[in-house]
Amino acid sequence: MTRVTYCPSNADADRKWCEAVLPANKGLVVDWVTAMNNTALRLTDVPKTERTIISGAFADLVAVAAASYIADECVSRANTPDGWSREFEIIAPVAESSRFSNICEMLADAMQFVSGDKYSIRTTMRSTGVSLEVGLPKTEQCDAICLFSGGVDSLAGAIHLLDEGKKVCLVSHYADPLTMSIHDALRTRLEELYPGQVDYRPCFVRRTRGNKKQTFPLPDKVDNTHRVRSVLFVALAAIHADLYDVNRIYMPENGIIGLNIPLDSSRAGALSTRTSHPFLITKLCDIISSLAGRDTIVINPFLVQSKIEIVSSLPRTTYQLLEDTHSCAKYDMIRWTGQTSIRHCGYCLPCIYRRMAFHNIGIDRREDYLKDIFNELPKLSHNMTRDLRSLAAFLVKYQRSDLLKRRAMVMANGSIPFARLSAISETEKDISIGEVIDFLDRFVADAIRMLRGMCSKDVLNVLGL
């Protein structure tokens, strides 16, 4: 088990407390407060005169989520008995007035579900809790908080809210210059299209460069799965929902990713991303509602829509914005090729879904991708072709399956709280397993139609389509 804590302040007493709780080499101290910190945690880039200080339970939530996100990178999965599941004990120093203690078990369950790791979280009282600086509200009114990742789905979610005339606070998390530049370019264009409706909140959380002089040095980065990032992302949104006194947080994600239907056995459970699964969303609703003292809903408006359907619902005036989004899961690998002008690999599952959706509205361009998987598949390595092969195999299997098998596919990656689906998707009618299967039927039909229109005959033969 890895014990993790964070330094709540730069006071000598708190630094000494961390040293006592986690002696050298017996745990991790995530530190964003001392002069020689190991982590950067910034929730605003506005001048000091335009900031306010947030403390209490929501600051504690962000602190625990940030510490867990950093610790996640420091512990290898390879050294565990099953090659995946690690154990973390998070020690949260909180002020006595914090309500955070009431949600520790729920938060541990949420992080365990999304990551496949085992978490325990316990609080310990300190004289002062965590304080974080955020920008002051830009407007008197805000209707909703919307997670803003720079991808197609989050952009579409923001556009739908803005088209309804809502004033929206866009909360982003970035850890590198590319992500920051994408977010900034997209929000600038949204501000032009929807003047007076957009408040953009960039949040920077990442390890700082290793240095032996750091107050609490961290081990080298050894894991990139980042499963708990979604909890951090929602925590960042929650602190701004509290700032603006709103009770709606939008987490736009297409239903194929959200429901996390496994394409094959290697993608079962937390081995595949469950970062927007309905079970996780309802846990997050309960956590934030408990901290806020009122019902707060985390909403995925695209729970039963595919990326093809989401993109098709957008006005043509937004197509240039769509092209400026970033979807690739393999971008770090692209940089090693020296192709600095290309941001998408073209063969990971997010790139495949993106290209199918763009093809459907006539804006797909092969030159935007490192590889053209739909025509070059026989020439590419097995690792490069794995995602498209898995998708095609799933489509064929789904078509051949009966209703009972399709129901099993829906439930394969976690319990789905059907009684709460209408609330977390903001739909008027109840969503049953039948509606979910109808959605999958549409996706499979659309995906096969797209692939038959995009793939060469040789690739279609390889894929069995």
Residue 267 and residue 414 in contact, taking contact as beta carbons nearer than 8 Å: no
Note whether 369 and 226 are same-domain residues: no
**Count of C-beta atoms within a 10 Å radius of residue 50:** 10
Choose among 215, 230, 232: nearest CA to 67: 232
For residues 1-37, one letter each, b for 16 or more C-beta atoms within 10 angstroms of the residue's C-beta and e for the rest, the string is ebbbbbbbbeeeebbebbeeebeeeebbbbbbbbeeb
Distance CA 462, CA 465 (A): 8
Note whether 147 and 116 are same-domain residues: no
Q: What's the confidence (pLDDT) of residue 225?
A: 85
Give the CA distances from residue 38 to residues 16, 41, 390, in Å, rounded to whole numbers and listed in that order: 16, 10, 39
Q: What's the confidence (pLDDT) of residue 268?
A: 46
In a domain, 75, yes or no: yes
Distance CA 440, CA 448 (A): 12
Note whether 202 and 95 are same-domain residues: no
Distance CA 168, CA 79 (A): 44
Q: What's the confidence (pLDDT) of residue 25?
A: 64
Note whether 257 and 359 are same-domain residues: no
- Domain with residue 138: its CATH number is 3.40.50.620
SS3 302: coil
Token representation of residue 152? 């197609």
In a domain, 353, yes or no: yes
In a domain, 289, yes or no: yes
Q: What's the confidence (pLDDT) of residue 196?
A: 94
Note whether 245 and 333 are same-domain residues: no
Note whether 221 and 138 are same-domain residues: yes
Residue 15 and residue 215 in contact, taking contact as beta carbons nearer than 8 Å: yes
Residue 416 main-chain phi, psi, to 5 deg: -105, 120
Instruction: Specify the length of the chain in residues.
Output: 465
Q: Which domain holds residue 266?
A: 133-299
Distance CA 213, CA 34 (A): 12
Alpha helices per DSSP H over 129-270: 152-163, 177-193, 229-244, 255-259
Among residues 115, 132, 149, the one where a domain terminates is: 132
Note whether 106 and 234 are same-domain residues: no
To the nearest 10 degrees (0 to 180), the angle between helices 433-454 and 382-400 is 130
For the chain, the domain total comes to 3
SS3 15: helix
| CB proximity list for 247: less than 8 A, separation 6 or greater | 241, 292, 294, 295, 296, 297
In a domain, 158, yes or no: yes
Residue 77 and residue 83 in contact, taking contact as beta carbons nearer than 8 Å: yes
465 residues of the chain, pLDDT tens digit each: 999 999 999 999 999 999 888 876 689 999 999 999 999 999 999 999 999 999 999 999 999 999 999 999 999 999 899 989 999 999 999 988 789 999 999 999 999 999 999 999 999 999 888 999 999 998 888 999 999 999 999 999 999 999 999 999 999 999 888 788 999 999 999 999 999 999 999 999 999 987 778 999 999 999 888 889 999 999 999 999 999 999 999 999 999 999 988 887 554 444 457 899 999 999 999 999 999 999 999 999 999 999 999 999 999 999 999 999 999 988 777 766 666 678 899 999 999 999 999 999 999 999 999 999 999 999 999 999 999 999 999 999 999 999 999 999 998 878 899 999 999 999 988 999 999 999 999 999 999 999 999 999 999 999 999
Note whether 91 and 159 are same-domain residues: no
Q: What's the confidence (pLDDT) of residue 210?
A: 75
Note whether 223 and 331 are same-domain residues: no
Choose among 455, 452, 446, 448: nearest CA to 385: 455
Choose among 171, 100, 64, 431: nearest CA to 278: 431
Note whether 352 and 271 are same-domain residues: no
Note whether 168 and 191 are same-domain residues: yes
- Residue 2 backbone zone (phi > 0: left; psi -120 to 50: alpha; other: beta): beta
**Count of C-beta atoms within a 10 Å radius of residue 119:** 23
Note whether 290 and 351 are same-domain residues: no
